[in-house]
Amino acid sequence: NSSFDIEYLEDRCKANGLYLSLSSINVFDLYVGYRSLFRRKGYRLKDIALHEGLTDTLEEVVNYGLMWENDKIGLMERNQRHVRWIKQINEKMKVIEYYWSLKEIVGLEELHGTGYSSTLFDTLLLRHSSLILPSKSHEKHTPYEGAYVMQPQSGVYDNIAIFDLTRFYPQILLSELLDPAILDSYEKQNGNSGWDGYKEFAQKYISEGKPAVWLDIVRDMSKERVRLQSLPEHREKLAGIKGILNSAYGVLASPAFRLYTPEIPERITEVARNTIQGLAEDVGEWGYKVIYADTDSIFAQVPRDEVDKLEHKLNTKLGDYGDFSIKLDDYAVKILFTGAKKKYCLISEDG
Whether pTM > 0.85 for this model: the answer is no
pLDDT for position 327: 96
Measured from the Cβ of residue 304, the count of other Cβ atoms closer than 10 Å reads 11
Classify residue 143 as left (phi > 0), alpha (psi -120 to 50) or beta. beta
pLDDT digits (tens, 9 = 90+) for 181-221: 999 999 999 887 789 899 999 999 999 998 888 999 999 99
Domains present along the chain, CATH in parentheses: 2-98 (no CATH), 155-348 (3.90.1600.10)
- End-to-end distance of the chain based on CA atoms, in angstroms? 41
Q: Return all residues near 293 (Cβ < 8 A) that are at least 6 apart.
A: 148, 149, 150, 276, 277, 279, 280, 299
Please determine, for residue 139, whether its predicted confidence score (pLDDT) is greater than 80.
no
Please determine, for residue 44, whether its predicted confidence score (pLDDT) is greater than 80.
yes
Amino acid at 51: H
Distance (Å, whole) CA 284 – CA 207: 40
pLDDT for position 19: 87
Rounded average pLDDT over 54-73: 92
Work out the pLDDT band at 142, boundaries 50, 70, 90.
confident
Rounded average pLDDT over 308-337: 95
Distance (Å, whole) CA 343 – CA 203: 42
Classify residue 326 as left (phi > 0), alpha (psi -120 to 50) or beta. beta
pLDDT for position 282: 96
Please determine, for residue 235, whether its predicted confidence score (pLDDT) is greater than 90.
no
Q: Return all residues near 208 (Cβ < 8 A) that are at least 6 apart.
A: none
pLDDT digits (tens, 9 = 90+) for 249-265: 889 998 888 889 999 99
